[in-house]
Amino acid sequence: MAQPNSKVTLIDYCKRRLGSPVLEINVDSTQIDDAIDYTLEKFRTFNYDGIEKMYMKHKWTAADVTRFKADETTETATKGSDTTDWTYQKNFLVVPDDVVSVSQVWSTTDKGTGNIFDIRYQIRLNDLYDFTSTQFYHYFIIQQHLANIDFMLEHFKPTRFSQVTNRLYIDLSATEDVIENEWSIIECYRYLDPTEHTRIYNNMWIKDYATALIKKYWGQNLTKFNGVQLPGGVTLNGEKIYTDAVTELERLEDELRDTYEMPPLDAVG
């Protein structure tokens, strides 16, 4: 059995499953392209095999620093005779189109803890208020937790990200944390490119769903010409083809969401 490894070979595979070349598949090439594209989009949106977790780094440029230091713009909202001025941030980074979500951002800048007003300095100051009454094991456990707190306070940055805008907003200090030639690292999920990872085209769910979707278009087209008779007296039942395709698509939708979809992040762990 030929294994699809491209969009063209996947289309050929789907048409053979529907009876080509014995039967003429009455579906336009643009409809088939739409069916394949929609199948791939649904796969990468809901199937955990369609995305990958990865880390990306960004080196802060002079343009980034300038934009982040002038990080507010004002907009006036009007309702009748009432007006209200709002300011919002412009301090965002543009991420690649195939990034689905950003879970964390770290900065490599380390300003140290020499300042007595630094919260980490105050934590250390009260760390061992009475060394003689503290067991070493307890002290070691506390140190581990404090190390994690230090890392979060210094390196972890709250973020807001929308895939629609491709804008990654980072809530940080523009005067202290945005430094030219320093690096920031993001933990994110990205779509897998099927042209690079060609095994996606041979995924069983993709082959089944694409075939059923093309079959739906075929049946939908035939219902416009009910009772079309082929050479030899064979009559295609467009309504039956359409109904069977819809049933198959519903089954595959349930399979995708129940079997292959990743659980919400707050339900993991």
| Helix, strand and coil percent figures for the chain, each rounded to 5 | 45, 20, 35
- Per-residue pLDDT of 199-237, as tens digits, reads 999 999 999 999 999 999 999 998 877 666 666 666 778
Q: Amino acid letter at 106? A: W
**pLDDT grade, residue 110 (50/70/90)?**
low
* Global confidence as pTM: 0.71
| Phi, then psi, of 16 in degrees rounded to 5 | -65, -40
DSSP 256: I
Edge to edge, the sheet with strand 159-162 lists: 92-94, 167-170, 159-162
- Per-residue pLDDT of 152-192, as tens digits, reads 445 556 778 888 888 888 877 666 677 888 888 888 999 99
Residue 127 has pLDDT above 60, yes or no: no
128: region left, alpha or beta (phi > 0 left; psi from -120 to 50 alpha) = beta
Rg (CA), the chain: 28
Q: What is the pLDDT of residue 268?
A: 41
CA distance 227 to 118: 81
Contact of 17 with 1, CB cutoff 8 Å:
no
Contact of 92 with 170, CB cutoff 8 Å:
yes
Q: Among 60-64, 89-93, 115-119, 203-207, whose mean pLDDT is lowest?
A: 115-119
Give the burial class of 187: count Cβ atoms within 10 A of its Cβ; 0-12 exposed, 13-18 middle, 19 or more buried: middle
Contact of 22 with 156, CB cutoff 8 Å:
no
Residue 60 has pLDDT above 80, yes or no: yes
